[in-house]
Structure 1
Amino acid sequence: MNQKSHLIFTLYTIYGILLKVVASKGKPRGISGQYPLVQNMTVTEGGTVNMTCRVEYNDNTSLQWSNPAQQTLFFGDKKALRDNRIELMHASWSELTISISDVTLTDEGMYTCSLFTMPVRTAKAYLTVLGVPEKPEIDGLTKPALEGDQITLTCMTQGSKPAADLRWFRNEKEVKGAKEVNASGKTFTVRSSLQLHVDRNDDGVAYTCKVDHVALTQTPQQATEVLEVHYAPHVKIISSLVVPQEGQYLKLECMSKGNPSPDPVMWTKDGGELPDLDRMIVEGRELTFTSLNKTDNGTYRCEASNHLGTSSAEYVLYVYDVPTTLPPSTTPPLHPIPPDPTAQLGTHASDPTVTGNRDPNAIGQHGTDHALIGGVVAVVVFVTLCLIIVLGRYLARHKGTYLTNEAKGADDAPDADTAIINAEGNHAHAEEKKEYFI
């Protein structure tokens, strides 16, 4: 509305007031001294709000709404400001309700409802307009990232009023970022940064930035980025058998994990090529033995590579003899007997943290030999001890008898020959003994 039109409307308003004042002479003044009643309102940017002004008693006095710039919007049921967004909802002597659609931030402020009595009564209602934050954007992500890199993810949203809050999530778990708020006119720009030291566990992880704001009650704003991390492969070997035996079917699977995927893998035996490709079949990551025999014993190695490095794992294969089968029993066992867990052969990765290899020959075969040798040694030791005890007792008994007989009659004998002659039990053979000693 230009100044000339506004002046004409103002004069028209004053003229109407004078007419109402003249018409109200002689009427009771108590009912015309009422204050208008209004209420503060809050609306989201782009929404619609109704502004209502009421009085309990009125003597045909007009109500008027004015905007924060003190421009008259409606005087009674007459529209004063040419704005297609503002419409009349209800007009009477006791109520004036107007509607403002497609609300913008410039519509925020103090609105005035006037009751044209003498003097004029007014009431003020503040209209708060909420600025809706824009959809957030995530910057700083490099695709792909390398394991060990330091990266900073930054999430930003603009246009919020009041300032929005930003929250980070690693998959479904919330993580804390650093927030920064800057004013831009009536709205705010909000940033949040998240620093990451990426490793292989971050590969495929979704990082989400969510916006929390009072204006976003139904459709929260968020942005998501999925990390792609390249890393060197890691290899391990899985066997289909716990205790491999002759004639059995065995499958060794080389489980390699890396990004990019380390395909294909390479199998070797004892540092060289596989010797029997008719029975040892390589399909992708799997090494299959159609029928095991003793010649398959050895160390099998699986190796995988990508542009970031190489990894390998080893499997020591020892093929056991087929156990002797017993006659079938008519009564099934109550509980199946599990295989000896100590007979399991593992894999040995080339990781420097893994040291030493288990000797497969120490299982089963040497256990029986050691038990047999131990039993024989025990028997020999026992027999030897028995012989020593018997021989000792025999020697001790005969030695005592000799010394006793010799001692008898030796006290008065001048020499050894006389002592022997005088000993008890030797008188009858004294001559023989003397001649024997001569």
Structure 2
Amino acid sequence: MASKGKVRGISGQYPLVQNVTVTEGRTANLTCRVEFNDNTSLQWSNPAQQTLFFGDKKALRDNRIELVRASWSELTISISDVTLSDEGMYTCSLFTMPVRTAKAYLTVLGVPEKPEIDGLTKPALEGDHITLTCITQGSKPAADLRWFRNEKEVKGAKEVNASGKTFTVRSSLQLHVDRNDDGVAYTCRVDHVALTQAPQQATEVLEVHYAPRVEIIHSLAVPQEGQYLKLECVSKGNPSPDPVMWTKDGGELPDLDRMIVEGRELTFTSLNKTDNGTYRCEASNHLGTSSAEYVLYVYDAPTTLPPSTIPPLHPIPPDPTALLGTHVSDPTDTGSRDPNALGQRSTDHALIGGVVAVVVFVTLCLIIVLGRYLARHKGTYLTNEAKGADDAPDADTAIINAEGNHAHAEEKKEYFI
């Protein structure tokens, strides 16, 4: 790639040239023009003042240098596979009296090499401090290095050193490694004017080993008798802590027919009260051991009885409106769904029921008192007929006998209540 700079020289019998910038390894074209020429020859010379072309005649034996165009008004040559040593001041001469010249500077860009990342330990351990260093050489001018953590740019420390006409650039990145760095891609990217296509870059993916961490996930919020329950032991660690170990109350699982262990999962096919206890999941790798606990309490299964067999929580007094012959409204009626109407009716029923209960209680008390009074004053009522009836064949004789019986005069008296 070549770019044009400021035009040098003046019009007329003066040669006109332009500065040229080219990337190392590519081709540079040097052009010299004049507006008016009386058949005077043009000449190109290199920075060492060696003649390259005089008119259309090649003067220097260099297979990289070729003639592009030669005429009375223009002399253009090309230098292929340009190197950094080709950089410098080139001179175009017009051989008039006196000789007139114009100078063009050829700038050669040094292409930076693909960067390399050093300092990475595989695998790294959680808690380690490591330094990643990115190096690129051969850039001219000095390249710029940028760091990215999963495509998000992070700041590094850059150092530039000259090496002849090119530069060596280093950039370092300090890391305190934790488990969040596991699997993270760190990329060092080279930005440079000579890189017209995709930038040069290098990427390293960190592998971090760390001790496991464990948690238990359960499938039921309120486990009840007869239900299916699954406990999953979620363990995160590197290397992976597989398999995991399940225990109950510090010992082995008691009922392997209903408690099924598959990988990291513990499944209860049908819960009952004997399953109550503390279940522990433990996972290990070479860096450590972690565990989590789940306290299982199995609740009673919900029961639903027929409406006629459900005992009321509180006694409900009889509905006095039924005794009074009042029509009971249909519970499906819209008014019966009104919570205010229900509350008012419940209050009235309670009041009437209370009054009825008091009346019944007072009546029972009166009956008991009257009974006790009658029992206390009970006597014997004997008539005259009864007194003489023991030996008399008929009623008249009984009366005569009764009247003649003076020995039992006291017994002839009648008692009335």
Sort the Cα spacing of 1:392 and 1:212 in 2 relative to 1 into closer, same or farther, 3 A.
farther
Give the conservation status (yes or no) of the 8 Å contact 1:109–1:126.
yes
Sort the Cα spacing of 1:283 and 1:306 in 2 relative to 1 into closer, same or farther, 3 A.
same
Sort the Cα spacing of 1:360 and 1:27 in 2 relative to 1 into closer, same or farther, 3 A.
closer
Superposed, which structure 2 residues align to 1:352-371 within 5 Å? none
Partner SS for 2:232 = strand
Q: Deviations over 1:374-419 (max 9, x none)?
A: 9999999999999999999999999999999999999999999999
Give the conservation status (yes or no) of the 8 Å contact 2:247–2:279.
yes
Please report how far the alpha carbon of residue 240 of structure 1 lies from its aligned counterpart in structure 2 after TM superposition.
Answer: 1.1
Give the conservation status (yes or no) of the 8 Å contact 2:317–2:353.
no
Give the conservation status (yes or no) of the 8 Å contact 2:320–2:353.
no
Give the conservation status (yes or no) of the 8 Å contact 1:311–1:350.
no
Give the conservation status (yes or no) of the 8 Å contact 1:90–1:97.
yes
Q: 2:106 aligns with which of 127, 138, 159?
A: 127
Sort the Cα spacing of 1:29 and 1:318 in 2 relative to 1 into closer, same or farther, 3 A.
closer
Please report how far the alpha carbon of residue 248 of structure 1 lies from its aligned counterpart in structure 2 after TM superposition.
Answer: 1.0
Sort the Cα spacing of 1:405 and 1:202 in 2 relative to 1 into closer, same or farther, 3 A.
farther
Q: Deviations over 1:68-118 (max 9, x none)?
A: 010001000111111111111100000000111100000000000000000
Distance in 2, matches of 1:357 and 1:58, equals 118
Q: 1:50 aligns with which of 29, 41, 49?
A: 29
Sort the Cα spacing of 1:72 and 1:330 in 2 relative to 1 into closer, same or farther, 3 A.
farther
Sort the Cα spacing of 1:290 and 1:390 in 2 relative to 1 into closer, same or farther, 3 A.
farther
Sort the Cα spacing of 1:331 and 1:404 in 2 relative to 1 into closer, same or farther, 3 A.
closer
Give the conservation status (yes or no) of the 8 Å contact 1:88–1:97.
yes
Q: How many residues align?
A: 417
Greater Cα radius of gyration, structure 1 or 2: 2
Give the conservation status (yes or no) of the 8 Å contact 1:240–1:251.
yes
Please report how far the alpha carbon of residue 366 of structure 1 lies from its aligned counterpart in structure 2 after TM superposition.
Answer: 33
Q: 1:207 aligns with which of 186, 191, 196?
A: 186
The alignment status of 1:96 with 2:75, answered yes or no, reads yes
Partner SS for 2:375 = helix
- TM-score for both structures, normalised by structure 1: 0.68
Sort the Cα spacing of 1:273 and 1:154 in 2 relative to 1 into closer, same or farther, 3 A.
same
Please report how far the alpha carbon of residue 433 of structure 1 lies from its aligned counterpart in structure 2 after TM superposition.
Answer: 42
Q: Deviations over 1:135-172 (max 9, x none)?
A: 00000000111111010000000000000000000111
Q: Deviations over 1:19-44 (max 9, x none)?
A: xxx99999999999611000000000
Give the conservation status (yes or no) of the 8 Å contact 1:87–1:100.
yes
Sort the Cα spacing of 1:69 and 1:287 in 2 relative to 1 into closer, same or farther, 3 A.
same
Give the conservation status (yes or no) of the 8 Å contact 2:181–2:207.
yes
Aligned partner of 1:260 in structure 2 is: 239
Give the conservation status (yes or no) of the 8 Å contact 1:315–1:347.
no
Distance in 1, matches of 2:363 and 2:227, equals 48
Please report how far the alpha carbon of residue 324 of structure 1 lies from its aligned counterpart in structure 2 after TM superposition.
Answer: 2.7
Distance in 1, matches of 2:89 and 2:14, equals 17
Give the conservation status (yes or no) of the 8 Å contact 2:225–2:273.
yes
Give the conservation status (yes or no) of the 8 Å contact 1:168–1:176.
yes
The more displaced of 200-209 and 380-389 is 380-389
Please report how far the alpha carbon of residue 242 of structure 1 lies from its aligned counterpart in structure 2 after TM superposition.
Answer: 1.3
Please report how far the alpha carbon of residue 53 of structure 1 lies from its aligned counterpart in structure 2 after TM superposition.
Answer: 0.3
Please report how far the alpha carbon of residue 219 of structure 1 lies from its aligned counterpart in structure 2 after TM superposition.
Answer: 2.5
Sort the Cα spacing of 1:388 and 1:307 in 2 relative to 1 into closer, same or farther, 3 A.
farther
Sort the Cα spacing of 1:283 and 1:25 in 2 relative to 1 into closer, same or farther, 3 A.
closer
Give the conservation status (yes or no) of the 8 Å contact 1:421–1:427.
no
Please report how far the alpha carbon of residue 243 of structure 1 lies from its aligned counterpart in structure 2 after TM superposition.
Answer: 1.2
Give the conservation status (yes or no) of the 8 Å contact 1:33–1:117.
no
Please report how far the alpha carbon of residue 331 of structure 1 lies from its aligned counterpart in structure 2 after TM superposition.
Answer: 23
Sort the Cα spacing of 1:353 and 1:73 in 2 relative to 1 into closer, same or farther, 3 A.
farther
Distance in 1, matches of 2:116 and 2:321, equals 57
The more displaced of 380-389 and 28-37 is 380-389
Please report how far the alpha carbon of residue 297 of structure 1 lies from its aligned counterpart in structure 2 after TM superposition.
Answer: 0.7
Distance in 2, matches of 1:281 and 1:46, equals 70
Distance in 2, matches of 1:403 and 1:150, equals 126
Aligned partner of 1:13 in structure 2 is: none
Gaps of 5+ in 2: none
Sort the Cα spacing of 1:296 and 1:415 in 2 relative to 1 into closer, same or farther, 3 A.
farther
Sort the Cα spacing of 1:429 and 1:78 in 2 relative to 1 into closer, same or farther, 3 A.
farther
Partner SS for 2:5 = coil
Aligned partner of 1:70 in structure 2 is: 49
The more displaced of 246-255 and 338-347 is 338-347
Partner SS for 1:348 = coil
